[in-house]
């Protein structure tokens, strides 16, 4: 069996958010040896490399069981569809977010983003006219939703084509995950 180069050990460990101590406990290889391997100070034996990669693979399998609520933003900042575009841009500016969901009551009905607003600038509308429009007039598609029991892989795939994913519990929105949240796992 061929394994990736030992330089991958640190990358995989970091991706899984595993400490050297945790990897040592799972693999039976001492933490000091793992440190030396990761820094390139020693060449690991085949047996040691096998133990480390098998432990990392096992941890990766368990990682898919991570609760997505551990990385989701639980305070979902949103705007109502009746809100003015001006108020929505103020919300984006004050929170530092580049996109937020649009709700009608408690139900998601769309999304608004800086990029989406920029697309409307100069389209037969002055800045003043655009700022007076309601969010419902310029909003984009709603972010996809997943139950809180969804796995990281599902959310990751959805983020390939959407700016965010909303997390639900019993039909209610309880969190939101963006690429920035997903990067917490790296």
CA dist 3 and 110 (Å) reads: 46
What does the pLDDT look like over 69-109, one tens digit per residue? 888 999 999 999 999 999 999 999 999 999 999 999 999 99
Are 101 and 78 a contacting pair, CB within 8 Å? yes
Q: Which CATH superfamily does the domain covering 7-63 fall into?
A: lambda repressor-like DNA-binding domains (1.10.260.40)
CATH of 69-185, one of 3.10.580.10, 3.40.190.100, 3.30.499.10, 3.40.190.10: 3.10.580.10
Are 104 and 80 a contacting pair, CB within 8 Å? yes
pLDDT tier at 62, thresholds 50, 70, 90: low
Are 9 and 56 a contacting pair, CB within 8 Å? yes
What does the pLDDT look like over 7-55, one tens digit per residue? 888 888 888 878 899 899 999 999 999 999 999 899 888 889 889 989 9
CA dist 90 and 94 (Å) reads: 6
CA dist 85 and 121 (Å) reads: 12
Are 99 and 163 a contacting pair, CB within 8 Å? yes
Q: Look up the pTM and report it.
A: 0.64
């Amino acid at each position: 069996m061929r394994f990736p180069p030992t330089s991958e050990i640190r990358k995989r460990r970091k991706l899984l958010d595993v400490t050297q101590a945790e990897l040592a406990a799972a693999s039976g290889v001492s933490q000091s040896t793992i440190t030396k391997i990761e820094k390139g100070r020693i060449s690991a034996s085949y047996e040691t490399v096998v133990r480390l990669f098998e432990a990392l693979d096992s941890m990766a399998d368990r990682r898919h069981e991570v609760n997505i609520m551990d990385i989701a933003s639980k305070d979902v900042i949103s705007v109502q569809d009746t809100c003015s575009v001006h108020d929505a841009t103020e919300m984006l500016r004050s929170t530092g977010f580049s996109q937020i969901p649009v709700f009608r009551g408690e139900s998601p009905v769309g999304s608004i983003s800086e990029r989406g607003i920029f697309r409307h600038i100069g389209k037969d509308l002055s800045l003043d006219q655009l700022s007076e429009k309601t969010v419902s007039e310029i909003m984009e598609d709603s972010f996809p939703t997943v139950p809180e029991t969804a796995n990281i892989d599902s959310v990751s795939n959805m983020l390939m084509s959407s700016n965010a994913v909303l997390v639900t519990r019993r039909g209610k929105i309880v969190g939101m995950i963006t690429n920035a949240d997903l990067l917490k796992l790296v």
